[in-house]
Amino acid sequence: MQGQGIGEHPLIQHDISRRGLLKFCSAMVSMLALPAGVVHVFAEQLNKALSRRPSVIWLSFQECTGCTESFTRSHAPTIESLIFDYISLDYHHTLQAAAGEAAEAARLEAMERHFGHYLLVVDGSIPVADEGIYSTIAGTTNLQMLQECVAGAAAVFAVGSCAAFGGLPAASPNPTGASGVADLMESGQIETKPLINLPGCPPIPIAISSVLAHYLVFEQFPALDASRRPVSFYGRTVHERCSRYHYYEEQKFAEQFDDEGARQGWCLYKLGCKGPITHNACAVYKWNEGTSFPIE
């Protein structure tokens, strides 16, 4: 492998130790279910990719900002946030300093300058009913903006259940015609590009940064399932790794939210828990620096 050594890694120059970098890359490699032997190559390639300051355009449509909140409040100020310091985040409603016309100008400039190379992150569903009038930004419907931005994107990251599958806005009767990115690609309403889905409400922050790092290193997504989700994070159900699973096996179920079983922390299956059919790694990585997840 050619290129900058790990010692000159931009993250190391940001006061992250070489040991810390390798620890981070080891964790990434492990979470992505890659062979342990690729850690040094992963670190070196990540270095090269970040040195180029890859452009990221982040579009937020019918959403609650939960995906961004989850990501930015995850493990700061650890290395995930530093990765974002080295990415050129050229457009993001919540995080960018610019507003109004200046923000839109920044998006258009980034799209032109990095055409064919920028990474497009989408959170929120896209309303397509009545020609998309139910959500507009700077006079442009979400659908039009997505069509424009997808055209020059190298790859698309659909972050959160709304961008992946329509989410809550698509609940029946779905008055806005809320759709996920994949649906729009399949129906030909937007151009088809490499797409990864990271569902969750919100998704696990480390899943976002891991697949982003994977794409920067290998210029492709990790292994995906039939729903375009990374197998390493979505290959198993929440139920399989739930902290209440032993109660499920013992057939100890809470029957009411305030009964003795609930107070004892028994399994929530009889109260409608969807853990057995939900594929995600919530029970492993959790939120708020690994503090908890909703079932806990």
Residues annotated in the binding site for [4Fe-4S] cluster, as ranges? 64, 67, 162, 201, 239, 242, 267, 273
199, 180 in Cβ contact below 8 A? Answer: no
CB neighbourhood size of 205 (10 A): 24
Whole-number Å distance between alpha carbons of 80 and 70:
12
Cβ-based nearer residue to ligand SF4, 121 or 238: 238
Please state the φ and ψ torsions of residue 8, each to the nearest 5 degrees.
Answer: -100, 20
Residue nearest to ligand SF4 (CB): 275
47, 6 in Cβ contact below 8 A? Answer: yes
According to the binding rule CB under 6 A, does residue 12 interact with ligand SF4? no
Cβ-based nearer residue to ligand SF4, 39 or 242: 242
Whole-number Å distance between alpha carbons of 214 and 221:
7
Whole-number Å distance between alpha carbons of 284 and 292:
9
104, 138 in Cβ contact below 8 A? Answer: yes
Binding residue ranges for [3Fe-4S] cluster: 282
Closest approach of ligand SF4 to the CB of residue 168, in Å: 20
Cβ-based nearer residue to ligand SF4, 9 or 239: 239
Site for ligand SF4 in 16-75 (CB under 6 A): none
28, 18 in Cβ contact below 8 A? Answer: no
Cβ-based nearer residue to ligand SF4, 58 or 269: 269
Cβ-based nearer residue to ligand SF4, 177 or 200: 200
Whole-number Å distance between alpha carbons of 22 and 6:
9
Stretch that binds ligand SF4, among 160-168, 186-194, 197-205, 244-252 (CB under 6 A): 244-252
According to the binding rule CB under 6 A, does residue 238 interact with ligand SF4? yes
Select from 9, 214, 229, 239 the one that contacts ligand SF4 (CB under 6 A): 239
Site for ligand SF4 in 252-281 (CB under 6 A): 267-269, 273, 275-276
Stretch that binds ligand SF4, among 59-67, 127-135, 199-207, 236-244 (CB under 6 A): 236-244
According to the binding rule CB under 6 A, does residue 244 interact with ligand SF4? yes
126, 146 in Cβ contact below 8 A? Answer: yes
Whole-number Å distance between alpha carbons of 29 and 213:
10
Closest approach of ligand SF4 to the CB of residue 217, in Å: 33
According to the binding rule CB under 6 A, does residue 159 interact with ligand SF4? no
Beta bridge mates, 153: 118
CB neighbourhood size of 277 (10 A): 9
Binding residues for ligand SF4, rule: CB under 6 A, are: 238-239, 242, 244-245, 248, 267-269, 273, 275-276, 295
